[in-house]
Chains A and B, each alone.
Chain A
Amino acid sequence: MPATYEPIATTTLSTTATTVSFTSISGAYTDLVLVANVQRATTAENPSLTLRFNSDTGTNYSMTNLLGNGSSASSSRQSTQNMMNFSYFSMASAANTFSTYILNVMSYSNSTTYKTVVGRSGDAGAGTQATVGLWRSTSAITSIIVTNDGSPTNFASGSTFTLYGIQAA
């Protein structure tokens, strides 16, 4: 059996940044998994971790969330968005504390279906969420832009972003 689940690229921020890009993604895999461990740069900032595919800034994204904040469960939806947002809860900001995002981009390289992402994310100090997202495009995904919600806010130094590829037989 062929081994798979291979790292494609990793970025560790050595300074604050608003965007991390994975470009020229090979179509050789079946699914992609983005694992990110991210902190906001300052307590005054409030970035959301969001994805854009193939530099598409149109309103072609939507999400449905399952949320828990320690006292209650809830659900939310964002439709017709210009990015796919995985940060319902505030990103971690306390010293040495980072939020976690594990996002599965399913069947990313086919050119027939819209692309669905399922993932889990959250900040242990604020809440946890599961999300299903849709990008309404049949294009194969060749780039992923990890960015914030459009505000001039930053991911902190030390934040890590790794993209994996999983190849089915």
Chain B
Amino acid sequence: MAPILGIWASGAQPAANATSFESIATTTVGSGGAADVEFTSIPATYTHLQLRAIARTNYSGGVTDTLVIRINSDTGNNYAWHQVGGNGSSAFAQSGTTTNLIYASYIASSTSGTSVFGASIIDILDYANTNKYKTLRNLTGEDRNGGGDLTLGSGLWQNTNAITSIKLTQGEGTSFAQYSHFALYGIKGAA
């Protein structure tokens, strides 16, 4: 296979080639739904991680829901996040500091319309480095023909531990809907 362009899907340009982007694990939610999706025992053999997902939740109180990210099962107030987004009529910005989660917004809810799923691409940089806090960024959104929301987001986990697990839940709902799909990839650096 010939080398490919060094382009991450959501826009950054780290060096990459056909042998540096590898699938680590995948989860597709079954008919009973799933309260959470967790990737565990993530090997430290990569330089960056990328999580790619389509998602829909059982939340019925609104037309959107959000992805919630927690790392290494840490439920303490060790996270911060920022977003700039659009809702079709105006742009907005929102943030959280000293929080117990990182939001990636927005994904589809049970009232988004039949068969509508949001999508999210999350880049987690230098995840195995034990000398720095961990930073991620994401592009997440859902369009439902007549409505829709998307954000560009960043997140911080204030911990120098290597990331070995990533847990995804919902901001409002209690489960991911059937056919929601989450795939974790590793991106290698040069030896």
Contact = CB atoms under 8 A, between A and B. Distances in A.
A, B bound? yes
A31 interface: yes
B121 interface: yes
B115 A74 contact: no
Given A3-B18, A112-B115, A169-B23, A120 B181 contact: no
B88 A4 contact: no
B150 A118 contact: yes
Prevailing SS type, chain B contact patch: strand
Contacts of B36: none
Interface stretch (B6-14, B67-75, B128-136): B6-14
Given A3-B22, A4-B21, A106 B86 contact: no
Contacts of A64: 86-88, 141, 143, 147-150
A164 interface: yes
Interface in A119-169: 119-120, 130-134, 136, 138, 162, 164, 166-169
B19 interface: yes
Interface string A50-61: 000000000000
Interface residues of B, number: 55
B86 A66 contact: yes
B10 A133 contact: no
A36 to B, nearest CB: 11
B115 A138 contact: yes
A107 B52 CA distance: 10
A35 B7 contact: yes
Interface of B: 1-2, 4-5, 7, 9-11, 16, 18-26, 52-54, 84-91, 115-121, 139-152, 179, 181, 183, 185-186
Contact of B20 (A2, A3, A117): A3
Given A2-B23, A7-B2, A104-B10, A166 B52 contact: yes
Interface in A44-88: 62-68, 73-77, 79-80
Contact of A134 (B16, B24, B88, B145): B145
10 contacts: A3-B19, A3-B22, A4-B23, A5-B4, A31-B52, A33-B9, A62-B143, A77-B89, A80-B145, A107-B54
A1 B25 CA distance: 9
A166 B184 CA distance: 11
Given A1-B24, A7-B4, A134-B144, A65 B86 contact: yes
A75 B53 CA distance: 23
Nearest to B22: A1
B181 A107 contact: yes
Given A5-B16, A120-B11, 7 more contacts: A62-B145, A65-B88, A73-B86, A75-B88, A106-B117, A131-B141, A169-B26
B186 A1 contact: yes
Interface in A1-43: 1-7, 30-31, 33, 35
Contact of B7 (A2, A102, A132): A102
A77 B119 contact: no
A1 B146 contact: no
Contact of A131 (B25, B87, B150): B150
B95 to A, nearest CB: 15
